[in-house]
Amino acid sequence: MPIPLVDPKTKSFENAHRSFCWQVPGGFNMAGAVCDRHAGKPSATALLCETSAGQTARYTFRDLRLLSNRLANAFQSSGVQTGDPVAIILPQRVETGLCHLAAWKIGAVSLPLSVLFGTDALQYRLQDSGARIVICSKVGLDRVQSLRAELPGLDTVINCDHPKAGFWPLLNRGADAFETIKSAADDPALIIFTSGTTGPPKGAVIAHRCLLGNLSGFEMSHNFFPQADDLMWTPADWAWTGGLLDALIPAWFYGKPVLGYDGGRFDAEKARMSCAVKLSRRSSCWHRITPRRTLCDRIYRMRFGAISPPTSIHARLSLSVNYR
């Protein structure tokens, strides 16, 4: 697959459209595409993390591969199997990305849920998806624990902030080596729930190929991403498609770093200062924050792989996992 998919030297949308061809292989796993294949560059930064308290951390793609391998082994040891939904209720922090990567590596299906959800919203989505495991921070822990009686299928709740019995002790018990499952491009990778503006929220099972369907629009809407010294940041929660599939995961596909800011409610001034510090050494990236209007405005984004028959999301997931 050529990278970038769209020639940045193209003179018109018509030329770009005429020369473009979708390339979706039969076998495709997002964890391998956005993480493992970049691990051969040991110093390549994948994630810069910052909290509202000013704590910072840096992770390379090699770090992400090692840590997600350990977590994949730990998930399997905890009973997570191919096709199982893995609910992730976390803000922009490294554990969020690792949970998605590890889930995809074992053939499980990641279920991103917003940290802003109340108990009713969480209960509905966890019941409808049939999630057996939840990874959250101390912020969401009480809400999830209060629902245990209504969620008999929920076996495990992992607190990322518990120093002795939480996420990191579990991850560190996993082995370093893991062979990512050979997923078909049509295999389920994500469950994304709609907002529920017309009736109850509806869960869509999204296949691994959804990433490939999003890349051309991603490149053009960001002025022909990737460019030298790019650094991606979004104020959107990584639980939403705008934060996950329109920022974090595509940036990693191209081997570019992402800034994750775990600062609670959005604060424009804090966000501006954080970006200014990170971008001071990457001046060419300012157009990611204030994009110019280009022919990219005319591109239509395509996403592949939504499966939406009129059944519960749990039954839908079982159908899509077992069907070939």
- Per-residue model confidence as pLDDT tens digits over 144-166: 999 999 999 999 999 999 999 99
SS3 content of the chain, % helix, strand, coil (to 5): 40, 15, 45
What are the chain's domains? 26-322 (3.40.50.12780)
Express each pLDDT in 212-223 by its tens digit: 999 988 888 888
Share of the chain above pLDDT 90, in %: 61
Give me the chain's average pLDDT, please: 84
**What is the full DSSP assignment across 277-289?**
HHHTT-GGGHHHH
Burial 35-69 (b: 16+ CB within 10 A, else e): bbebbeeeeebbbbbbbeeeeeeebbbbbbbbbbb
Q: What is the mean pLDDT of residues 10-14?
A: 83
pLDDT tens track for 243-300: 999 999 999 999 999 999 998 777 777 666 666 555 544 433 333 433 333 333 322 2
Burial class (CB in 10 A: 0-12, 13-18, 19+), 307: middle
Q: What is the pLDDT of residues 173-227, one digit of tens each?
A: 999 999 999 999 999 999 999 887 888 899 999 999 999 999 988 888 888 888 8
